């Protein structure tokens, strides 16, 4: 178990305007580069990335990193640095994890990297690896308490967190490639070998005193192995959200995917839809480890994070060691995504959101905080699709929101947000494509919320965002009336009919008096 302290890398001045920086992660299975743009809102946008299958966990038989492995890694680092430089990334932060930290010649290798490439490769310990993985993964998910599981090629990191603050962490030599090579020697692996690996995992967890999950805790998973397990599961069904980040893998589905992989010989395993070709040999060990950990913790599901160690490195400097509240992460990421669309205007967006919340205060004082927040995001993002397809802008916006890299949302929230945008444009939108995340029973709420956003949009178009004082609405005897006049010619008949259907209310916009 590890204490929770002290980052090892020097702080990067990330405050102020946007910065482009790169992170290199020399893992025990793969090496990775990610080039991030961090805008002033602290949202990380991926500009570029690269991956190389290094398999270093296989190259330290006597605890010494082989010459061949070092040369291969140096070549990959050269390539990563070329990409980082071409993207004008500065600084480039580079870390190495379990395979390098366990080799007795790590120091020589680090010196070679510095001399040949001019890069400071920091060999981080299990604690730092766990902490960064926790920060990266938890930052961008709407979770408060639980356990983060990071499965790498050589090691497994676990961190327990409460109120989004890390409370305990562990590092185990249980990485996917290492366990596959050590236990699963037959092809396909025989049942007794799988059992031996399960017992090994269980023993290590018990010896370390890893507790089972409390009823309010969730299991979050990150790392290439876990992402790939989720991708395989998602391929087995129709599913409305394109991103893997935030995907929930139920225990039963995890179990089915593990069985699917373990019972096939490598040749047939390689054809499992969604399996990355270069994980054919390492995934089985990793899959068994993940399932055994989920079993030991008593987890009902595993929520997959597409972010982890690499994002965590950047986030620690931007935010410190406690991830900001999910609502702040969500707001920043919506603004950050929207600001990439040239016809989108932040002032207009804020005006529209304000009109919508003023309306809801009168109409639905008891609306759930979750729905209220989604209405605000939907109002803010409503017209970003304009930059893509003016005549189908709600469809375009809906698609962008369900496919974009928004942070801090659950998949159900993303589906609701997307459906809400679509419904602003078309009240009778089909909800079936959003299954299993949205049901027909969500329609009434969506119809009301989308009517409010549509009305807010129409008003904003006429009054502009900057000039007006808060609009006064009154609700009286089945009539929703605006306290100010807007424009003599505006008769929102269709909207009024829609309001009647959604709320059972008559919408009254006072006319401007005819000039005498
Ligand atoms: C590793 O340690 O190699 C991981 O970060 C990534 C992987 O390929 O599993
Ligand atoms: Mg790793």
Ligand 2 centroid, distance to 28 Cα (angstroms): 6
> Which tens digits make up the pLDDT trace of 31-46?
999 999 887 666 788 9
> Which tens digits make up the pLDDT trace of 167-196?
999 999 999 999 999 999 999 999 999 999
Ligand 1 centroid, distance to 150 Cα (angstroms): 9
Nearest residue (CA) to ligand 1, atom 4: 152
pLDDT at 395 exceeding the cut of 50: yes
> pLDDT value at position 97?
96
Pairing of strands 301-304, 165-172: unpaired
Cβ neighbours, 10 Å, residue 450: 25
> pLDDT value at position 509?
84
**What percent of the chain is modeled with pLDDT above 90?**
80
Question: Probe ligand 1: pick from 24, 25, 26, 30, max atoms within 8 Å of CB?
Answer: 30
Atom of ligand 1 nearest to the CA of 57: 3
**What percent of the chain is modeled with pLDDT above 70?**
93
Atom of ligand 1 nearest to the CA of 54: 3
The answer to whether the Cα torsion of 356, 331, 38, 153 is positive or negative is negative
Ligand 1 centroid, distance to 51 Cα (angstroms): 10
The side-by-side arrangement of strands in the sheet containing 506-508 is 473-476, 479-482, 506-508
Which of 107-121, 168-182, 249-263, 466-480 is the least confident region? 466-480
> pLDDT value at position 490?
81
Rg (CA), the chain: 26
pTM above 0.75, yes or no: yes
> pLDDT value at position 1?
59
pLDDT at 16 exceeding the cut of 60: no
Atom of ligand 1 nearest to the CA of 99: 2
Is-contact 416 442, C-beta < 8 A?
yes
pLDDT at 10 exceeding the cut of 80: no
pLDDT at 15 exceeding the cut of 50: no
Q: Give the residues surrounding ligand 1 with Cβ less than 6 Å away.
A: 27-30, 97, 152-153, 176, 223-225
- From residue 197, alpha-carbon distances to 224, 228, 292, 483 in Å are 20, 20, 9, 70
Strands (E) across 215-262 are located at 218-222, 248-250
Rounded mean pLDDT of 499-510?
91
Question: Probe ligand 1: pick from 24, 25, 26, 29, max atoms within 8 Å of CB?
Answer: 29
> Which tens digits make up the pLDDT trace of 94-139?
999 999 999 999 999 999 999 999 999 999 999 999 999 999 999 9
* CA atoms of 413 and 370, how far apart (whole Å): 9
Question: Probe ligand 1: pick from 98, 153, 306, max atoms within 8 Å of CB?
Answer: 153
Atom of ligand 1 nearest to the CA of 53: 8
pLDDT at 356 exceeding the cut of 50: yes
Ligand 1 centroid, distance to 181 Cα (angstroms): 15
Is-contact 30 52, C-beta < 8 A?
yes
Ligand 2 centroid, distance to 25 Cα (angstroms): 7
- From residue 44, alpha-carbon distances to 15, 19, 80, 315, 377 in Å are 13, 10, 19, 9, 18
The residue with greater pLDDT, 473 or 260, is: 260
Ligand 1 centroid, distance to 201 Cα (angstroms): 19
Summary mean pLDDT of the chain:
92
CA angle 480, 486, 489 (to 5 degrees): 105
Atom of ligand 1 nearest to the CA of 97: 2
For the chain, the first-to-last Cα distance in angstroms comes to 83
Nearest residue (CA) to ligand 1, atom 7: 224
Ligand 1 centroid, distance to 232 Cα (angstroms): 17
> Which tens digits make up the pLDDT trace of 270-301?
999 999 999 999 999 999 999 999 999 999 99
> pLDDT value at position 170?
97
Atom of ligand 1 nearest to the CA of 29: 3
* CA atoms of 17 and 455, how far apart (whole Å): 35
Pairing of strands 301-304, 248-250: antiparallel
């Amino acid at each position: 178990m590890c204490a929770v302290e002290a980052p090892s890398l020097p702080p990067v001045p990330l405050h102020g305007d946007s910065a482009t920086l790169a992170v290199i992660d020399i893992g025990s299975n793969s090496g990775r580069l990610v080039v991030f743009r961090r805008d002033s809102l602290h949202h990380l946008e991926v500009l570029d990335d690269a991956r190389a299958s290094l398999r270093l966990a296989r190259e330290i038989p006597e605890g010494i990193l082989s010459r061949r492995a070092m040369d291969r890694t140096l070549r990959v680092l050269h390539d990563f640095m070329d990409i980082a430089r071409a993207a004008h990334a500065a600084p480039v932060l580079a870390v190495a994890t379990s395979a390098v930290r366990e080799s007795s010649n790590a120091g020589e290798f680090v010196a070679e990297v510095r001399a040949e490439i001019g890069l400071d490769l920091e060999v981080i310990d299990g604690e730092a690896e766990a902490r960064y993985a926790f920060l990266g993964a938890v930052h961008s998910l709407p979770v408060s308490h639980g356990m983060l599981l990071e499965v790498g090629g050589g090691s497994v990191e676990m961190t327990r967190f409460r109120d989004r603050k890390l409370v305990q962490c562990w590092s185990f030599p249980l990485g996917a490639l290492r366990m596959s090579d050590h236990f699963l020697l037959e092809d396909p692996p025989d049942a007794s070998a799988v059992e031996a690996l399960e017992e090994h995992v269980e023993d290590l967890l018990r010896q370390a005193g890893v507790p089972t999950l409390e009823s309010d805790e969730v299991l979050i998973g990150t790392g290439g192995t876990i992402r790939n397990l989720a991708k395989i599961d998602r391929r087995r069904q129709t599913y409305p959200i394109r991103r893997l980040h935030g995907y929930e893998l139920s225990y039963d589905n995890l179990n089915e995917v593990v069985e699917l992989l373990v019972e096939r010989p490598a040749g047939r395993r390689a054809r499992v839809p969604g399996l990355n070709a270069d994980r054919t040999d390492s995934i089985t060990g990793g899959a068994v480890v993940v399932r055994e950990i989920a079993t030991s913790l008593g987890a009902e599901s595993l929520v997959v994070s597409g972010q982890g160690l690499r994002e965590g490195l950047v986030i620690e400097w931007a935010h410190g060691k406690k991830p900001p509240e999910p609502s702040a992460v969500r707001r920043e990421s919506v603004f950050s995504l929207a600001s990439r669309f040239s016809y989108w205007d932040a002032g207009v967006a804020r005006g529209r959101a304000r009109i919508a919340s003023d309306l809801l205060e009168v109409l639905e004082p008891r609306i759930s905080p979750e729905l209220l927040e989604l209405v605000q995001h939907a109002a803010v993002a409503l017209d970003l699709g304009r930059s893509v397809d003016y005549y189908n802008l709600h469809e375009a916006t809906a698609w962008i929101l369900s496919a974009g890299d928004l942070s801090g949302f659950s998949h159900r929230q993303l589906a609701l947000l997307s459906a809400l945008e679509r419904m602003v444009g078309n009240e009778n939108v089909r909800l079936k494509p959003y299954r299993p995340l949205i049901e027909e029973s969500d329609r009434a709420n969506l119809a009301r919320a989308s009517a409010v956003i549509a009305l807010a949009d129409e008003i904003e178009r006429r009054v502009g965002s900057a000039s007006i004082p808060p609009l006064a609405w009154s609700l009286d005897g089945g009539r929703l009336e605006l306290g100010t006049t807007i424009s003599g010619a505006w008769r929102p008949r269709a909207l009024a009919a829609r309001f009647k259907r959604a709320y059972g209310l008559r919408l009254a916009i006072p006319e401007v008096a005819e000039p005498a």
